[in-house]
A and B are shown apart, each in its own frame.
With several copies, the nearest count.
Chain A
Amino acid sequence: MPAILLDRAFNPWDEIQDFQTNTLRPGQFGATASFVGSMRDFNINESVTHMTLEHYPAMTQHFLDTLCERCKQKFTLDECLVVHRFGDIQPGEPIVLTAAWSAHRADAFNACRFLMEELKAHAPFWKKEVTDAGERWVHNDQKPVNS
């Protein structure tokens, strides 16, 4: 299953390697593009201590599964992968991983970026920052922890 939702911290490089080992044959692909979005420890306001990522579980899974299928139809790929956190996230922790495996680099790069852009624009996740002064929902124009 190429779209994975996790409520715990994850190591993106281990996820890529495990997925690749379990799903693809070495020598089958020539190009692997990946992207990791992680929580920065500084923001508009210096007092952000951690973040809570709410989501709409059934729709999130459905959206990301469908996104992976659309991605495989749009580009010539061997495989693609999306991993996304939800729940409490500490500064420095990875939030999202997208990856694409292809024979050729253009498809790998374009697919990896397509996954991220679509996910950022449409996947039903909402970030709430926890600060010393309380909590606040993140708005898109704040470009908070990565963008």
Chain B
Amino acid sequence: MTIQPLIVKILTMSINIQFFASLREQIGKSQITLPYDAPLDVINVWAQATGDTAMPSNTLCAINMEYVKPNAVVKDGDEIAFFPPVTGG
């Protein structure tokens, strides 16, 4: 069996996913590395990372430390974070 060079390239794309606070406890993971092969938005990332668990409506999303909306598209190497409403200060 031979592997196509194009497919090898696509399979090397991946993102780093982080969960915090109550979401981290609900998901049961704090960090996942997700390889992917087609354009993904944040809501797709959540679905793939959580096995299609429903995202709580008040979930906040960030890409590379900046808040984004769930329809934001990720790119290779991004860090995607999911967390509940913040309660600092």
Partner of A122, one of B21, B22, B86: B86
Whether A63 and B65, one on each chain, are in contact in the complex, defined by CB atoms closer than 8 angstroms, is: yes
Interface size for B (C-beta < 8 A) is 16
Given contacts A56-B18, A56-B20, contact A125 B62 (CB under 8 A): no
A125 adjacent to B65 (CB under 8 Å): no
Are B20 and A53 touching (Cβ within 8 A)? no
Shortest CB distance A82–B (Å): 10
- Among B63-83, those with CB < 8 Å from A are 65, 67, 81, 83
Query: In the complex, what distance in Å separates the CA atom of A125 from the CA atom of B62?
Result: 14
Query: B83 to A124, Cβ gap below 8 A?
Result: yes
Which residue from A59, A62, A63, A137 sits with its C-beta under 8 Å from B21? A137
* In the bound complex, CA of A37 to CA of B87 (Å): 13
Quote the shortest CB–CB distance from B19 to chain A (angstroms): 10
Name which residue of chain A comes closest to B22, CB basis: A137
State the CA gap A123–B21 with chains docked (Å): 13
Q: What chain B residues lie within 8 Å of A144 (beta carbons)?
A: 87
| A140-B65 in contact given A54-B20, A124-B20 (Cβ < 8 Å) | no
B63 to chain A, nearest CB (A): 10
| Closest-CB distance, B26 to chain A (whole angstroms) | 11
Inter-chain contact B84/A126, CB cutoff 8 Å: yes
Between A and B, 16 residue pairs with Cβ closer than 8 Å are A53-B88, A55-B20, A58-B65, A84-B89, A96-B88, A96-B89, A119-B88, A120-B86, A120-B88, A120-B89, A121-B86, A124-B86, A124-B88, A125-B87, A126-B88, A127-B88
Q: Which residues of A contact B (CB under 8 A)?
A: 37, 53-56, 58-59, 62-63, 84, 95-96, 116, 119-128, 137-140, 144, 146
Q: Which residues of B contact A (CB under 8 A)?
A: 18, 20-22, 60, 62, 65, 67, 81, 83-89
**Minimum-distance CB pairs A-B, first 10:** A125-B88, A126-B21, A120-B89, A59-B65, A62-B65, A127-B87, A137-B22, A138-B87, A123-B88, A96-B89
